[in-house]
Amino acid sequence: MTSRWHLRRMSEEARCRVVMIERFWSFVNKNGRNGCWEWKDAKDNGGYGVFRLANGNLIGHERRAHRFSAELRFGPIPKRMLVCHHCDNPSCVRPDHLFVGTSKDNAWDAARKGRLPTKLTTEQRARLKMRPWSLMPDWELARGLSVAPSTVASARSKKPWHRWMPPTLHTKETAFSTSTDHNSTQQPSDV
Q: What are the tens digits of pLDDT across the range 173-191?
A: 433 444 444 444 444 444 4
Specify the pLDDT at position 17.
80
63 and 121 share one domain: no
- Summarize the confidence of residues 132-146 as an average pLDDT: 77
**Is the pLDDT assigned to residue 26 strictly greater than 80?**
yes
**Is the pLDDT assigned to residue 33 strictly greater than 90?**
no
Specify the pLDDT at position 60.
63
In a domain, 189, yes or no: no
Q: Is 135 helix (H, G, I), strand (E, B) or coil?
A: helix
Express each pLDDT in 76-97 by its tens digit.
999 899 999 999 899 999 999 9
**Is the pLDDT assigned to residue 147 strictly greater than 50?**
yes
128 and 70 share one domain: no
CATH number, domain at 27? Answer: 3.90.75
88 and 125 share one domain: no
Range of the domain at 131: 117-179
8 and 97 share one domain: yes
In a domain, 112, yes or no: no
In a domain, 96, yes or no: yes
CA distance 21 to 164: 40
In sequence order, the 6+-apart residues with CB closer than 8 A to the CB of 32 are 38, 89, 91, 92
**Which of 150, 151, 149, 158 is CA-nearest to residue 129?**
158
- Summarize the confidence of residues 97-107 as an average pLDDT: 90
In a domain, 107, yes or no: no
**Which of 21, 13, 10, 25 is CA-nearest to residue 56?**
13
Measured CA angle at 117 (ends 125, 78), to 5 deg:
125
CA distance 151 to 143: 11
